[in-house]
Amino acid sequence: MCDTLENPWLDNQRNISCIPEGEYKVRLRLPRESASRDYLHLLVQDVPNRDWILFHRGNTAKDTSGCILVGLGSQQDYVSNSVLAMDLLIKEVIHLGGENINLIIKNK
């Protein structure tokens, strides 16, 4: 449904690494729960030794801060149309019930 952009694997270090392989619960996060996101986004839960891992808007690797960006196209260290991609992703999550969201991270 969309492309994603994450940081490379750097031993799960906060703000600079992607998250480890595994299965994670994800939930909708309301704008009022965030000091910096004024739109619905997704929170990845129970990542070992990490917190506040989000699916959020952004276009470049500099925007990730250890989170997952979504876009409708991608190039090296870049995703495009992130605002539209996030809107489409959230609409699909809500359409599917908005609960019991599982994220599976696999090594390529």
pLDDT tens for residues 42-75? Answer: 999 999 999 999 999 999 989 998 899 999 999 8
Question: How many Å apart are CA 85 and CA 10, to the nearest integer?
Answer: 26
Check pLDDT > 70 for residue 83: yes
Residue 17 has φ and ψ, to the nearest 5°, of: -120, 150
Question: How many Å apart are CA 67 and CA 17, to the nearest integer?
Answer: 8
**pTM for this entry:** 0.89
Residue 97's pLDDT band (cuts 50, 70, 90): confident
The per-residue pLDDT for 108 is 60
The per-residue pLDDT for 49 is 93
4-50 tens-digit pLDDT: 999 999 999 999 999 999 999 999 988 888 878 888 899 999 999 99
